[in-house]
Structure 1
Amino acid sequence: MARANDEVEALLREYADLLAITGGGAFKQRAYERAARAVGGHPGDIGALDAGGLREIPGVGASIADKIEEYLRTGRVPAVEKARSSVPPGVRALLDVPTLGPKKAMTLYRELGVSSVDALAAAVREDRLAGLAGFGPKARENLERGLAVLHASGGRIALDVALGVAEETVAALGAAPGVTRCAYAGSVRRMRETIGDVDVLAAADDPEPVMAAFVALPLVAEVVARGTKKTTVRTVDGLQIDLRVLGEESWGAGMIYFTGSKAHNVRLREIALRRGLKLSEYGLFDAKSGRRRAAGDEEEVYRRLGLSWVAPTLREDRGEIEAAGRDALPRLVTEADLRGDLHSHTDLTDGVAPLTEMVAAAARRGLRYYAVTDHAPDLRMQRMTLEKARAQREELRQLADRHGRLKLLHGTELNIDPEGNVDWPAEVLAEFEVCVASLHSHFDLDRDAQTRRLLRACENPHVHIIGHPTTRKFGRRGGVDVDLDAVFAACARTGTALEINSHPNRLDLNDAHVLRARQHGVRFSVDSDAHAPAHLGHVRYGVAQAQRGWLTPDDVINTWPLTRLRRFLRGGR
């Protein structure tokens, strides 16, 4: 079931959207967006808090706290319901279309009666936007691109959401009668960036009690199909979960089969056939006699096929079979390898927690070093100044005395302008220990212009890391049009690291880009881009993409000891 934090975060985001559509004021809208981030990132269960406790969450003021308390107590907020009544339901759905803002969404409804994404697609296709103020050729092109991005998501959901459901299901079924093992498989286990459905496996002699426990889970809204070996349900949020029950003796083969990918499994079956064997979800059998040769654990099955065990994140038929045959698979980077985090924010700009709380959270995670990189002044809505940055630096130095083991680095996230320049001059940039440079605007520049601006940022000697390099956000924005191979080559040449941004709505760079960049000899930084203490845990998703890109600890600069990292940051790369 959804946490109270998640429900309230969704409610506050909805209200912020409704305020944007109805013209409720930009300041008020941003306040609710900020509160939504704060609630979503709060580590404790807000369901146990009263209005006073809610007001202690950074970013949650008295008025918002009262609304949250009212929702937790009654399940409704009159102010939100009033706003809903003034906006047709389909108009808010239009905001899911990248490039379409609230004012234009309302214009489309009032002028053309467009109240759904399908109706918008038809209006664009039939050229009914022609002559509508604010919807010239460029706007139509942007809408077509936005609709394509939305369509490409295909109803798939973000990894963090699917993983949460998978872990909740496994924890519940692991305690069911007769279950000896339970785990998730499929694309969730391979940690793909988006997920279509969730596969769960359980080992038990009698499947019936397991199936009964499964369909009775609180998160189940509908039983799609129920059988003795497989049952399919749909959750209250519309996610499909497939449960398969098999015998303990088939566990290893079953985990390989249902983890996939399909292409990886096809290669395994081909190898089995060449060895006179047959591989299925029940085991590895002699093709002639039918005798089971291996099945109980994955390592045994791979070994019988002449292969090293392949980590699930590599099972995409991208060379892992050949490497496993040579015992040449890399030692993949893990979350435990990360010594530090080099990209995070506080409430000095768009974070929701003060510096002290972010530093304390980093210390609790056992990090050895931690960089605070609030936004630079060219992102004007954040109201950063050099004076504020220098004051933060002094505060960070004072905090360092309280966290002896955790070394604190003062950094900044710079804005790359259309020409490739960044916010501050060289003498100011030299004051910062870590400079992350990112694209935050002008996403519609052509390929040559986008490439030039990123190349220039890479060549800036004060820029250490290019943050979220493609700028994509799932379901909201596709990546910029850029010659990534030229950028990868420039990063390798200049010694500039590329970020794997771990926020589950970004995962930027993605695994395919990481594979390509690695071939150029690029170094990487796996960062949380945390805007709240709980967000520091996002690195698990970034590490997964790094693994899918075949990265080792040596490829990732924030696995390095601080002395080596400082040498890199000083330009000795």
Structure 2
Amino acid sequence: MQRPNDVVADLLQEYADLMAITGGEAFKVRVYEMAARSVGGYAQDISGMNPAGLRRIPNVGTSIAAKIDEYLRTGAIHQLEELRGKVPAGVRRLTTIPSLGPKKAMTLYEECGIGSVEGLEAAIRAGRLHGLHGFGAKTEENLLHGIALLHKTGARVRLDVAMEVAEEIVDALSAVPGCERCAYAGSLRRMKDTIGDVDILATAADSAALMTVVQGLPAVAEVIAHGETKTSVRTDTGLQVDLRVVAPDSWGAALQYFTGSRAHNIRTREIAVHQKLKLSEYGLFDVASGDRIASVDEEEVYGRLGLPWIPPTLREDGGEIEAALHGELPILITDADIRGDLHTHTDLTDGLASLEEMVAAAADRGYAYYAITDHAPKLYMQRMADAKALAQRDQVRRLDGACGGMRLLHGTELNIGPDGEVDWPPEFLAGFDMCVASIHSHFSQPRPEMTRRLVLACENPCVNIIGHPTARLIGKREPVDADWAEVFAACARTGTALEINAFPDRLDLPADLVRLAQRAGVVFAIDTDAHAVPHLAHLRYGIGTAQRGWLTPDRVINSWPLSRLRKFLRKGRSA
């Protein structure tokens, strides 16, 4: 299901993790981690590359290229298999707990016999870690918090992971002779942050061929259940996929039903009952006569209930039924409305592609404008300096308009320090076309301090956008604690946009806060935070999050014409 690049990237990251667990040298671990990022972010498909071609990928040297080549030829890396044999699976599972590193995971196994997440939680609560070097009270508290976060995420996967699986299955089934329609439904169609399982719907006169195909897909590791109209399988990544084949004349009702959410479906069924109708996955029926009166298309089903078609991303019983009844559904932002990306990186800092490569890829997407926002000096590991930023600015000015007329903005991603200060003095920042400011450290500040920190960043006349505002990493780091009403008020007052970061492990600002911020008068930027060419395609996930927050195009600054955007970016400063 995954791109070959992503599969190999996962293997290299696993190699790095296992080396760290078994006491490998730190610099070698870092080399493999960097190679994993580079391979995952490489635009070209690596499956047909020879070792010489693989060595042209940044951070991939001779040894790593040989391992990748071995995997591409044989389907395995023998040194990785050897490392797997040295580390119990439970210890590898322990390393998925936020705040627990590989060395401490191995310590827990060797000194306490702890080889599972459940075992660690029980040991902490029983006081069995008391006196164990490196495991003080604060560490135990952090571990319990990390375990809770892990349980909260559970078996759910990121939106992009589920989307790749679903789209590949839909493509495969759509190519089967006799398949009339095929689409994904469920929480994936509603673009939720994480997905528990994937629901696929199809219509066909004969379901047998579709059932056979889905069971035989290369990524299917297990057939959970098999029947005439429903088959459930589990992929090699552990994701469950449920395929349902429905009659062609039930397509609309089935798609509406299996898209959900449950709460939304309860509301639509209530409307049906009040009209002496019955709504199910088979259609909309007249209770008295039993006649089916709507079922072929979703629009028909909603229309017969007296509702306009409701976009799937709104179907959460969050007021969409009332808005539909009153003709007040928003016209949601779509990919087609976006004129440019305002938060991206190059290999000048932690990106994987050159300025020229990123600009060319953005132009290929048809953007009218595009911003380069590499990291600023306070993110020390990126080694940014004044001279490097100014040299990049010269490059940006030379490329401006050279790719299909796309205009370029030279920006930077600043770091919001614990006191609310940002990198570089105002006179230097004034030379940038725009500035994104983000939190990259001190995530556990108390609520009043975190709120003041964000408000001060908004009040900075050089800051145009607050990047990934809650700083969350889905399943790994909780959002920072802030008084968001106060932050939103500061954004509206100062003319500072909030970002909806489309990177799949962020999706930040989350949809619930997007909706609240919009009510407070805030405007937004939907950006990819791309660190490689393939990341530019993540925009779709930011759009989905924005739609879930009921966001309309007029509130998104990178849907505006460049002239209006430039005026906004001046933030009250003179031209």
**Equivalent position of 1:464 in the other structure:** 464
* Counterpart-to-counterpart distance in 1, 2:246 and 2:499: 41
The number of aligned residues is: 573
Amino acid in structure 2 at the alignment position of 1:466: I
1:177 and 1:404, CA in 2 relative to 1: closer, same or farther beyond 3 A? closer
1:179 and 1:74, CA in 2 relative to 1: closer, same or farther beyond 3 A? closer
Query: Any residues of structure 2 matched to 1:51-200 within 5 Å, and which?
Result: 51-200=51-200
**Equivalent position of 2:427 in the other structure:** 427
Query: Any residues of structure 2 matched to 1:360-509 within 5 Å, and which?
Result: 360-400=360-400, 402-403=402-403, 405-509=405-509
Query: Any residues of structure 2 matched to 1:8-27 within 5 Å, and which?
Result: 8-27=8-27
Could you report, residue by residue, the CA deviation over 1:518-538 in whole angstroms, capped at 9, with x for unpaired residues? Answer: 111111111101110010000
Amino acid in structure 1 at the alignment position of 2:33: E
Pairing 1:212–2:212 present: yes
Amino acid in structure 1 at the alignment position of 2:37: R
* Counterpart-to-counterpart distance in 1, 2:9 and 2:307: 46
Percent identity among equivalent residues?
A: 63
Could you report, residue by residue, the CA deviation over 1:312-349 in whole angstroms, capped at 9, with x for unpaired residues? Answer: 11111111111111222111000111101111111111
* Counterpart-to-counterpart distance in 2, 1:412 and 1:191: 30
- TM, length-normalised to structure 2: 0.96
* Counterpart-to-counterpart distance in 2, 1:333 and 1:308: 18
| 2:502–2:539 contact (8 Å) kept in structure 1 | yes
What is the CA distance between 1:219 and its match in structure 2?
2.5
* Counterpart-to-counterpart distance in 2, 1:485 and 1:124: 37
* Counterpart-to-counterpart distance in 2, 1:339 and 1:174: 32
Amino acid in structure 2 at the alignment position of 1:261: S
| 1:418–1:442 contact (8 Å) kept in structure 2 | yes
What is the CA distance between 1:57 and its match in structure 2?
2.2
What is the CA distance between 1:455 and its match in structure 2?
1.5
**SS at 1:180's partner residue?**
strand
* Counterpart-to-counterpart distance in 1, 2:495 and 2:137: 41
What is the CA distance between 1:15 and its match in structure 2?
1.9
**Equivalent position of 1:329 in the other structure:** 329
Amino acid in structure 2 at the alignment position of 1:497: A
Could you report, residue by residue, the CA deviation over 1:510-556 in whole angstroms, capped at 9, with x for unpaired residues? Answer: 11111111111111111101110010000100000000100011111
When structure 1 is superposed on structure 2, of 529-538 and 233-242 the one drifting more is 233-242
What is the CA distance between 1:401 and its match in structure 2?
5.2
* Counterpart-to-counterpart distance in 2, 1:109 and 1:423: 43
1:562 and 1:132, CA in 2 relative to 1: closer, same or farther beyond 3 A? same
What is the CA distance between 1:157 and its match in structure 2?
0.6
**SS at 1:200's partner residue?**
strand
**Equivalent position of 1:281 in the other structure:** 281
Pairing 1:42–2:42 present: yes
Could you report, residue by residue, the CA deviation over 1:158-187 in whole angstroms, capped at 9, with x for unpaired residues? Answer: 111111111111111112232111111111
1:572 and 1:303, CA in 2 relative to 1: closer, same or farther beyond 3 A? farther
What value does the CA root-mean-square deviation take over the aligned residues? 1.7
Query: Any residues of structure 2 matched to 1:225-264 within 5 Å, and which?
Result: 225-264=225-264
**Equivalent position of 2:221 in the other structure:** 221
**SS at 2:179's partner residue?**
coil
What is the CA distance between 1:487 and its match in structure 2?
1.4
**Equivalent position of 2:298 in the other structure:** 298
| 2:215–2:233 contact (8 Å) kept in structure 1 | yes
* Counterpart-to-counterpart distance in 2, 1:352 and 1:496: 29
* Counterpart-to-counterpart distance in 1, 2:54 and 2:259: 41
Pairing 1:265–2:265 present: yes
1:23 and 1:426, CA in 2 relative to 1: closer, same or farther beyond 3 A? farther
**Equivalent position of 1:567 in the other structure:** 567
* Counterpart-to-counterpart distance in 1, 2:43 and 2:201: 29
Amino acid in structure 1 at the alignment position of 2:559: T
Amino acid in structure 2 at the alignment position of 1:492: A
1:434 and 1:209, CA in 2 relative to 1: closer, same or farther beyond 3 A? same
Pairing 1:310–2:301 present: no
**SS at 2:245's partner residue?**
strand
Could you report, residue by residue, the CA deviation over 1:255-285 in whole angstroms, capped at 9, with x for unpaired residues? Answer: 1011111111111111111112111111111
When structure 1 is superposed on structure 2, of 366-375 and 202-211 the one drifting more is 202-211
* Counterpart-to-counterpart distance in 2, 1:47 and 1:518: 45
When structure 1 is superposed on structure 2, of 110-119 and 82-91 the one drifting more is 82-91
Amino acid in structure 2 at the alignment position of 1:317: D
* Counterpart-to-counterpart distance in 1, 2:216 and 2:83: 36
Amino acid in structure 2 at the alignment position of 1:20: A
Pairing 1:515–2:511 present: no
* Counterpart-to-counterpart distance in 2, 1:557 and 1:78: 50
When structure 1 is superposed on structure 2, of 13-22 and 548-557 the one drifting more is 13-22
When structure 1 is superposed on structure 2, of 537-546 and 214-223 the one drifting more is 214-223
Pairing 1:355–2:355 present: yes
Amino acid in structure 2 at the alignment position of 1:447: R
**Equivalent position of 2:534 in the other structure:** 534
What is the CA distance between 1:572 and its match in structure 2?
4.2
What is the CA distance between 1:566 and its match in structure 2?
0.6
* Counterpart-to-counterpart distance in 2, 1:68 and 1:49: 10
What is the CA distance between 1:19 and its match in structure 2?
3.5
* Counterpart-to-counterpart distance in 1, 2:561 and 2:56: 36
1:215 and 1:19, CA in 2 relative to 1: closer, same or farther beyond 3 A? closer
* Counterpart-to-counterpart distance in 1, 2:78 and 2:132: 35
* Counterpart-to-counterpart distance in 2, 1:6 and 1:260: 31
| 1:177–1:210 contact (8 Å) kept in structure 2 | no
What is the CA distance between 1:18 and its match in structure 2?
2.7
* Counterpart-to-counterpart distance in 2, 1:110 and 1:220: 35
What is the CA distance between 1:371 and its match in structure 2?
0.8
| 1:59–1:352 contact (8 Å) kept in structure 2 | no
- TM, length-normalised to structure 1: 0.96
Amino acid in structure 1 at the alignment position of 2:402: R
**SS at 1:374's partner residue?**
strand
**Equivalent position of 2:33 in the other structure:** 33
**SS at 1:130's partner residue?**
coil
1:367 and 1:247, CA in 2 relative to 1: closer, same or farther beyond 3 A? same
Could you report, residue by residue, the CA deviation over 1:395-444 in whole angstroms, capped at 9, with x for unpaired residues? Answer: 11122253251111111111111111111111111111121111111112
**Equivalent position of 1:338 in the other structure:** 338
**SS at 1:373's partner residue?**
strand
| 2:204–2:246 contact (8 Å) kept in structure 1 | yes
The gaps in structure 2 that reach 5 residues or longer are none
**SS at 1:223's partner residue?**
strand
What is the CA distance between 1:25 and its match in structure 2?
4.1
What is the CA distance between 1:490 and its match in structure 2?
1.4
Could you report, residue by residue, the CA deviation over 1:495-515 in whole angstroms, capped at 9, with x for unpaired residues? Answer: 111111111111111111111
What is the CA distance between 1:70 and its match in structure 2?
2.1
Pairing 1:319–2:335 present: no
Could you report, residue by residue, the CA deviation over 1:276-299 in whole angstroms, capped at 9, with x for unpaired residues? Answer: 211111111111011121111111
| 1:158–1:504 contact (8 Å) kept in structure 2 | yes
| 2:43–2:532 contact (8 Å) kept in structure 1 | no
Amino acid in structure 2 at the alignment position of 1:248: P
Amino acid in structure 2 at the alignment position of 1:201: L
Amino acid in structure 2 at the alignment position of 1:150: L
What is the CA distance between 1:23 and its match in structure 2?
4.7
| 2:401–2:408 contact (8 Å) kept in structure 1 | no
What is the CA distance between 1:562 and its match in structure 2?
0.7
